[in-house]
Amino acid sequence: MSKHSRRAREIGGILEVLSNPVRVEILRLLMESPKRYSEIAERVGVSQAGLAHHIKKLESKGLVEHRGEVYGITQLGKNILAVIDNIEIAAVGDLSVITRWGFSLPLKYYVETFLRLHGVVTSGRCSQQKILGMLADELQAEGYSYGYVLQQFVDSFLHWVLAKNHCIYGKNVQSQFTMESYEAINPHALDVLAESGLLDLLASNLIVFSAGWTSGASALYMPYLSPPLLKLVFRRREAFPELVVNARPDLDSGAEKALSMLFLTDSGMPVTYLVDASDNEDFLQRFLSDMVAHLPHSRSMVVVYGWERIRDEITLLLTRLINNGVPLVFTSSDVFPSLRSLAFPRGEAPTLHLGAVTFPMPIVLSQTSIRDTSEFIGKTVQRLEKIVQYLKKQSTRVARILELENTPPVDYVFQISLAGFEGGIILKTPSLRELFSETNNYKRIVIRKILDEYFATSKIQELVGVKVVDTFYTPSSNLSMLIALRFKQHHLDVNPLSPFSFNSRTRSTQDLLELESGIQTVLGGIASILELRVRGLTAIQLKEIISRMQKAGLKQFTVTIVGLHVCNVCGNIVHAKVSRCPRCYSRELSELSRYGLAYVQRDSLDPWALEEVENRVVAQV
């Protein structure tokens, strides 16, 4: 018998053994870690007698080995399983899922993510392989065998398949991604994306959208406020996903009453308050005192202008808000962020934010087909005209609602975000990692690369009458997930607030100050936000932080308290893990994490975002 025919018989024997899906499932299980015989039988869903037959077959082909009662997968088994995975990807590889997070995932990876986030016990008839096969059959029966399919359709089929197989959900994730309430891409929007030539870029994850595809509006900026207008906004709240209010000192008694109404309601609508500490400190003190008196504010943020010189009484009030989980952003820029990281120009006209497109720079810079990054982004931005026009048209109903209160003509803004820049540069030029210890050289090279790209791609300032704002911070809260799934062999931290990683393994607080000041002194704080994480804060420490930021030339920063917990009954914020809420004595307490600018419950973050957050630098003040 020839050597080739003998090898063919060996391969044929392996394929025959793996024709049984239970044996493939055993290999997948052992890829996680070596396991005892009883655990394998329980997880796979077969009797111990039946498992003996399967294990014997796998061992006969050198795919599995054991030491005592513990079984593990061999290197040959790992290689064969990788081939099987590639075959599965090829089988469903022509179908991508357009997710509600604004990016695309191959069907296999989407199913993997779905099962992981929902805590589904993946064994036996609920194994990932079996669920994926049944889902592909269901989708193909409905005419989805290649191209793109919207997440809402995939989810409905997935829930059906899981229910049919009596699969067990490990946790309720209905509260997942609560701060990013952007609407899923609908079929009409999908057509517009195709017409504009952007659908393929979306499917390739070269762009990510955060937009209100049905309502058109992602947020409303009000330069003034009145009780009738506030009442109108609450009555039509489905049209206003987020409210941004300019709390100005020239407000009349009716406007101040409207602000108090907002404090009292805390009704779940994200609200960002814009205040100017340099304008009228007496008004600011009244405003902050009123806000402190109505704590907690679960979905509110304060943006502070004129922070460079504030008196002690105001510093004390700001400290109380920060310690009670109210996000604060200190800024000197004419463009400021909202709670959901939507960029607004400071102005006198009501402004509707039409959403954002984010370029995940690790993906963009890793594409060998893109020779000139600036040219690619510039051409892509020009194609956005149809999208912006579509969103502006969709927001007509919202604009008309405002006209009922005789408001001035509405302005529009659209955001372009270049996210994860440092990770993309390191991925493209791995040798830069060697310069981490040479702070000055690294800072000079990386900042130059980032600024060159930013200036080259920020030339377009308007699209179809809509102002365009370019930032490094992004409203997309799932980029860590996207990058982790795309670059499994690389660990890249994607910071949603800055082009730089805040990972404590590679940087110190001083490193962050130097890198951020290098960007912000040039751009004036428009595009980036430095986050300073601390474990607790006093008014004296806040004054020291403000002085330090000013000396470093920072134009925009925020302070995060690490280790906060929230009572799920009364909303009280607690600084340490306790068994009961000090206010209402409830045991229902959840740990908070801050991803982007918003505090959210820790268990509502996906694993990749949580890892990025928990690895950030914590400053000593």
DSSP letters for 288-318: HHHHHHT---TTEEEEEESTTS--HHHHHHH
What is the pairing mode between strands 328-331 and 300-305?
parallel
How does pLDDT run across 549-576, given as a tens digit for each residue? 999 999 999 999 999 999 888 888 998 8
For residue 58, what is the DSSP state? H
**The 3-state secondary structure of 94-118, one letter per residue:** CEEEECCCCCEEEHHHHHHHHHHHC
Give burial (CB, 10 Å; 0-12/13-18/19+) of 488: exposed
Of 513, 420, 413, 426, nearest to 473 (Cα)?
420
Work out the pLDDT band at 176, boundaries 50, 70, 90. very low
Q: 397: which 2 tokens?
A: 């109903």
Is the pLDDT confidence value at 365 over 80?
Answer: yes
User: How many CA atoms does the CB half-sphere of 117 hold within 13 Å?
Assistant: 20
pLDDT for position 175 = 36
Q: Which of 253-257, 278-282, 375-379 bottoms out in mean pLDDT, i.e. has the lowest? A: 253-257
Single-letter amino acid code for the residue at 599: Y
Share of the chain above pLDDT 70, in %: 92
Work out the pLDDT band at 172, boundaries 50, 70, 90. very low
Work out the pLDDT band at 177, boundaries 50, 70, 90. very low
Q: Which runs of E-coded beta strand occur in 95-223?
A: 95-98, 104-106, 147-150, 208-210, 219-222
Phi, psi of 282 (to 5 degrees): -65, -45
How far is residue 556's CA from residue 526's CA, in Å, rounded to a whole number?
A: 8
Chain CA centroid to CA 470, Å: 18
pLDDT for position 261 = 72
Q: What are the residue boundaries of the structural domains of the chain, listed by start?
A: 1-91, 93-174, 219-337
The number of residues making up the chain comes to 621
Single-letter amino acid code for the residue at 396: T
pLDDT for position 488 = 67
Single-letter amino acid code for the residue at 249: P
Is the pLDDT confidence value at 45 over 90?
Answer: no
Q: Are 616 and 502 in contact (CB under 8 A)?
A: yes
pTM for this structure? 0.81
> What contacts 361, CB < 8 A, 6 or more positions away?
418, 419, 420, 421, 423, 424, 425, 499
pLDDT for position 10 = 76
pLDDT for position 492 = 66
The more confident residue out of 405 and 484 is: 484
Is the pLDDT confidence value at 2 over 90?
Answer: no
Work out the pLDDT band at 92, boundaries 50, 70, 90. low
Give burial (CB, 10 Å; 0-12/13-18/19+) of 51: buried
How does pLDDT run across 154-166, given as a tens digit for each residue? 888 898 888 888 8
How far is residue 404's CA from residue 163's CA, in Å, rounded to a whole number?
A: 48
Q: Are 358 and 208 in contact (CB under 8 A)?
A: yes
How far is residue 608's CA from residue 418's CA, in Å, rounded to a whole number?
A: 19
How far is residue 133's CA from residue 88's CA, in Å, rounded to a whole number?
A: 9
pLDDT for position 173 = 40
Q: 517: which 2 tokens?
A: 């000041």
Of 267, 390, 323, nearest to 559 (Cα)?
323
Helical packing angle, 227-235 and 253-265, nearest 10°: 30
C-alpha torsion 513→518→521→525, nearest 10:
-70
How far is residue 525's CA from residue 482's CA, in Å, rounded to a whole number?
A: 27
How does pLDDT run across 411-426, given as a tens digit for each residue? 999 999 999 999 888 8
pLDDT for position 20 = 84
Single-letter amino acid code for the residue at 341: S
Helical packing angle, 75-92 and 128-141, nearest 10°: 20
Of 513, 560, 557, 510, nearest to 535 (Cα)?
560
In this prediction, residues 242-261 reach a mean pLDDT of 78
What is the pairing mode between strands 70-73 and 104-106?
unpaired
Q: 182: which 2 tokens?
A: 């952007």
Taking CA atoms, 267 is separated from 243, 353, 407, 513, 594, in Å, by 12, 21, 24, 36, 20
Q: Are 387 and 354 in contact (CB under 8 A)?
A: no
How does pLDDT run across 259-307, given as a tens digit for each residue? 777 776 655 678 999 999 887 788 889 889 988 988 877 789 999 998 9
Helical packing angle, 21-32 and 128-141, nearest 10°: 130
How far is residue 338's CA from residue 345's CA, in Å, rounded to a whole number?
A: 11
CATH class of the domain whose range is 1-91: mainly alpha
pLDDT for position 490 = 54
In this prediction, residues 439-460 reach a mean pLDDT of 85
How does pLDDT run across 93-137, given as a tens digit for each residue? 568 888 877 788 888 888 888 887 777 877 777 888 788 888 888
What is the residue-averaged pLDDT of the chain? 85
Is the pLDDT confidence value at 241 over 70?
Answer: yes
Q: 460: which 2 tokens?
A: 């377009």
Q: Which residues pair with 557 in a beta bridge?
A: 330, 530
Select, from the ranges 173-177, 340-344, 401-405, 481-485, the one with the highest average predicted confidence (pLDDT): 340-344
Please report where in the chains the tokens 């020779």 appear, as a residue: 371
pLDDT for position 179 = 44
Work out the pLDDT band at 67, boundaries 50, 70, 90. confident
Please report where in the chains the tokens 């892509």 appear, as a residue: 380
Single-letter amino acid code for the residue at 381: V
